[in-house]
Structures are given as C-alpha cells and as structure tokens.
Structure 1
C-alpha cells in the first residue's frame, strides 16, 4: 500500500498569511500522498490488517464506518489491490441527506472499487452487523476478516508506530525537532500508534497532540489512552505510559462529527489558497483549525517547529460541495 516514506514539507506562505512575527515554522507530513485509493492515513493501518486477512486465508474483508468513511473507501481499494472481496457496513451517523453527500465523494469511490455496501441507520451496532454478515458468508464456504471503524485496533495502530519511526528519522535528516505533532482524532488510531511508537523509542509521546473530531473530549482521551497502551504492549510490554503522555485537545468538534464549523471552512480555504493543498472537511480541516487557533492565541512558542500530519480524505470535499458552495 505504501511506496516509501511520505514527504515532509514546510508551509512558508501559510506562515506569512498567519503573521510571520508570531508564527512558528509549520510543516506537513503528506500522508495524503499514498499509492492506493486516493491516499490517506488508513492505508498505514490496512497494511497490517489486510496482511493478517491474507495470512488467515480470508477471501473477504468486512469493515464499518459512516456513509462517507475514508476508511471504508480505502478498505475497498486495498482489498481490490490484494485480491479480496470487500463489504462495507455504512451507517447514517451524520445529519446530512443532500444529493452530494448520499452519492458523491467516498460513496462514489466505494462502488468504483467494487465494494458491496450495506447501509444502515446511525443508531445500530455496525460491528455486530459486520460479524453477522461474516457468519452468513461462512455458511457459504467463504472466510471473512472483520475489523471495526477506522481500522483502529492495536494491530492496525502498528502502521503509525512505524510512522513515528519515520518522522524521527526525517527529523534527523532535516536537522530539526518538532515541538508538536498535530493529528485529527476520530477513531484514535493515528494518535495511539504515534504515541506508542514514540514511547517505545524513548522519545516524548506528549508531543503528539490530537484534536477530537468525533467524540466528547472525555471519551476521546479515554479511548486514545487505552488504545495507545494496548498498542505499546504489542511492541514493548515492559514500558508504560505516564501522566501527560497522551494529549487530546477540545474546541474544534462543533455540533458533532461531520458537522461543518466556520473555523473548519476558514482552515480549508486558507491552506488551499496559500499553499494549494487540500484538507478534508471532517478530520484534517477541523484539526488544522485547532492549529491555527493555537497559533493566533499565542499558545505555542514561536521558535518550535510544528508538524501537521495530513491524513487525507480529499473525496470528502466533493460530498460537502453544497456546504462549500459560493453564492
């Protein structure tokens, strides 16, 4: 799924737009630039999950997500690449029902990649539906591999353990150290994997900071802490996290998951118009809005470089076309 390391780039024009006198150096790690399915952070997890599915002799990959799930789209693409059938249990968890949201973006690509989509209401247990479907396939002599939303199991998080090693190696090559590494926090796997990788390497996991875009701040912290600990146990069971190792920030969720905010709109437009880069409206746009707010409010030291992990999700922009529409 991956084709070498993803690059790190400095956003000098964005720094100028934010005010170079009070702005730290801003860098992005381009995890949106990967070779399968349009790219995105979920591919790092799927390397391990698809690998286990193949090792177990499975012929079908089943996963869950919201209707416009990036993980679902990349699961369909990665399954196609690996020669597996793919089935997606997609729930209506976002209060949008316009034509673009129902048919464009990731939904369009799910179908192009050949996935069978099972659409369900937002209040059902999607993982239970996926497991029931795996049982139905088993009766027919098929073997399915089932994984939950975001691929955020300890095994899947190993993809971001390796990403942490990658970032530390790139820091040495660049001759700098990032004071903060910023990620969006949905199913918590990206943050958990990075924190586990940093901790196992003897680095500071507390410099990984995420903005919750899915759950309440209390739940996001609890889930991230638990998942990071279970991931660390796979690679270094003699080591444990301590207080301050897991940093999750609030303030960008707005009215809920997938619900646009004014700060998200500004962040997406500012990064697009200053750097020609595209953030998604659900994850990266909200997390980058948090980065911008912290810089404007003077919370971060000017001399410490900041790294933002671009987790992909470009197709989501097309699903939110009415919300971005210019009158």
Structure 2
C-alpha cells in the first residue's frame, strides 16, 4: 500500500519505574508516540503516512478533515499537508475563539484554511465544502474523523509489529496495553495486530467520548473496523463484541471536560517521570489506568504498556481547567 514517510520511527519504548514505585503497582511501560516528530508528534502521524500516501496516489492537491477546536489529528494533518505541498482545510467544532492557542495556533502557523462548524465537530459539513472546492478546480481528498478508516487501522497493525521487535529485545511480555480510544482506528489496529502476532495480551481502550461514530455505537464501530481492515489485508479473522475491551468508566462529564481524574494523572506523570500528557485523551486514559491499578483490576504482578498517543500542545488551551498544583 502507498505510504508517505512523515514521522520518526520506531518511537521509544520505556519503563516507568518511578511511577510503578509510587503506585506500589505493576511494571508499567510506555510507548512514546508523542515523539513521532510531525507537528510536535502524536499517534495520528502513523495513520497519516498511509492516508497521505493514498491521497498522493489519487492525485489530490487538497486535503480536508474535521475535529474539535483543539484536535490533535487536525494539527498533525495540517503539518503533513504543509510538508507535502498540499492545501489543507480543517472543519472545526465550536466558534472561533477570541484567543488562539494550543493546537489551533499550530493549525494557523501551518497555513491551513479553517471552517468553524458549531456543533458539527465530526465532519458533518465536509460534503458541502468538498463540492465548493471542486467548483474551484481543486482535487480534494477527505480524511475521516481521527484518521480512523482501514488505512488508519493498518498503521496500528504496523505499530504492533514495531512494538513486538522492541519488547522482544527488552525481554518483556505485556499483560495489558492501555490507551485512549476515541475514533476507533488505533483500537481496531491494535486488536488486529494482537491477533496476528499472537501476543495474547488484553487490548484495553479507555473511552474518552460519549458520542457515536457515523451514527453507529462506538463499540460496534471498532469491531466493524477491525473486521473490514482484516478483509482489506486478506487476514481471515472475524472479531465479535466479546473480543472488544472498551472501558466506559472514565468518560466523566464528556469529551474535553477536565476534572480531578485528568488533573491528577497529568500531575502524577509529570512529577514522577517528567512526561507530559494532554488533558483530553492521554490524561483521561492514564487516569483510568491509575484507578484500575488502585482498585485491583490490574494486579501488582501484571506488566502494563500505556500507549502515549500525544496531544501535549492542548495543555496550553486548557490552562484554566488544570489544577495540578495540588499534587506537589
């Protein structure tokens, strides 16, 4: 499949020994996809290598995608488009803010065109913008919300292969892989990679959003995407609901609403390991992991990998919602 190099791979696999000691818990490792390099990094770089490869193969001169105002996916898409000489249009939820910061500031620096869409942060307004671009003589290519289609999932099958080489060289086998699950392709790809490579660990997505994907319940969307990706690469696997682990316990007040869970996780990791999480995705997912360890759902004898999907630029936009001083 076409693939356009955009990031720095493999990303580091590190042990969080100080965090484990603080929790008196299991061995905890981290896959540092916040270090992919493109536009300050993040897991979407992996997906965009395959998606942009397909866009270039189809002769596109413009890409368009959607997300929240502080979307990490949109920021990395803007960076990728700039590096490839493609025009970029972002359809962002909400209204234009008085102060531009975080990911939105980076979107503007990359020179993309921003369309504000109110409540439509998942691309509902994209079709009419595509038609306008075609009338202008452009060749637009639509990138799905979160980069979450079969190409995005294939990127995380490849990511699992990368992880296998690293963990074997370190002599460790994981019992759990924990990560933020939002638009589905990371989750679907890791499920498929786990099956292909026979690692037999639990693939645990922490749900960070109450919403649906394409008007389909999120759990059903992930399973369907895993199955369609398997078909695309001629792998004879069929996933069912029983294969999916999607933890809904930490959604809280909803997408992007920051509470004690996220604040504590951000402060704890920063002040033990010097690693920054973001307030929307990895902060919530790490908060879920900390609770699962403290409640005994993950045992002291387990070996856990937390997949850091990036997003730290959003910290600046959520400064008023962060209260990490209480952890000092």
Structure 2 length normalisation: TM-score?
0.91
Q: Could you tell me how far apart the structure 1 residues matched to 2:253 and 2:90 are?
A: 26
Q: Could you tell me how far apart the structure 2 residues matched to 1:8 and 1:228 are?
A: 25
Stretches of structure 1 lacking an aligned partner (at least 5 in a row) = none
The residue aligned with 2:36 is 34
Q: What is the deviation of 1:3?
A: 2.1
The residue aligned with 2:189 is 193
The residue aligned with 1:163 is 159
Paired residue for 1:114, among 111, 115, 120? 111
Query: Structure 1 residues 128, 263: CA separation in 2 closer, same or farther (over 3 Å shift)?
Result: closer
The residue aligned with 2:138 is 142
Say if 2:30 and 2:307, in contact at 8 Å, map to a contact too: yes
Q: What is the deviation of 1:118?
A: 0.2
**Greater Cα offset, 225-234 or 176-185:** 225-234
The residue aligned with 1:25 is 27
The residue aligned with 1:2 is 7
The residue aligned with 1:275 is 273
Structure 1 length normalisation: TM-score?
0.92
The residue aligned with 2:262 is 264
Q: What is the deviation of 1:261?
A: 1.7
* CA offsets 1:71-112 (integer angstroms, 9 cap, x no match): 01000001111111100000129xxx975xx52101100000
Q: What is the deviation of 1:40?
A: 0.1
Paired residue for 2:226, among 221, 225, 228? 228
Stretches of structure 2 lacking an aligned partner (at least 5 in a row) = 1-5
Query: Structure 1 residues 63, 261: CA separation in 2 closer, same or farther (over 3 Å shift)?
Result: same
Paired residue for 2:127, among 127, 131, 144? 131
Say if 1:161 and 1:194, in contact at 8 Å, map to a contact too: yes
After superposing on structure 2, the runs of 4+ consecutive aligned residues of structure 1 that deviate more than 4 Å are: none
Say if 1:186 and 1:215, in contact at 8 Å, map to a contact too: no
Q: What is the deviation of 1:216?
A: 5.9
Q: Could you tell me how far apart the structure 2 residues matched to 1:7 and 1:49 are?
A: 23
**Greater Cα offset, 213-222 or 80-89:** 213-222
**Greater Cα offset, 5-14 or 210-219:** 210-219
Say if 2:223 and 2:241, in contact at 8 Å, map to a contact too: no
Say if 2:175 and 2:302, in contact at 8 Å, map to a contact too: yes
Q: Could you tell me how far apart the structure 1 residues matched to 2:234 and 2:173 are?
A: 24
Q: What is the deviation of 1:170?
A: 1.4
Q: What is the deviation of 1:69?
A: 0.6
Q: Secondary structure in 1 aligned to 2:35?
A: coil
**Greater Cα offset, 71-80 or 163-172:** 163-172
Paired residue for 2:61, among 59, 62, 86? 59
Q: What is the deviation of 1:201?
A: 2.9
Q: What is the deviation of 1:203?
A: 3.7
How many aligned positions are there?
Answer: 317
Say if 1:200 and 1:232, in contact at 8 Å, map to a contact too: no
